[in-house]
Amino acid sequence: MKIEQIKERNENDLMELPNVVGVGIGEKNGKPAIKVFVTHKVELSSLKPKEIIPKRLGQYDVDVEEIGIVMAGTE
């Protein structure tokens, strides 16, 4: 399955996890990966099992990136 299909299939579930503000496609260690953007990273021990972002989706690694709070700009 293509990475775009895997992202699309899992995006809604990922967006419901704590601190997740976005999902995209990028690279991890030079290979295609699903990117999950979070406001801040937290210790695994403070999350319930169903709140943990998976390390892989299909055959692709998942890369969690802390980006802070996202706000729409006004000009």
SS3 string, the chain, reads: CCHHHHHHHHHHHHHCCCCEEEEEEEEECCEEEEEEEECCCCCHHHCCHHHCCCCEECCEEEEEEECCCCCCCCC
Q: Per the domain annotation, does 61 fall within a domain?
A: yes
First-last CA distance in the chain: 41
Domain that holds residue 15: 3-66
Q: Is residue 71 situated within a structural domain?
A: no
pLDDT value of position 13 = 97
Its pTM stands at 0.89
Q: Provide the domain count of the chain.
A: 1
Tens of pLDDT, residues 25-44: 999 999 999 999 999 999 99
The first and second tokens of residue 24, run together, are 């995209």
CATH of residue 35's domain is: 3.30.300
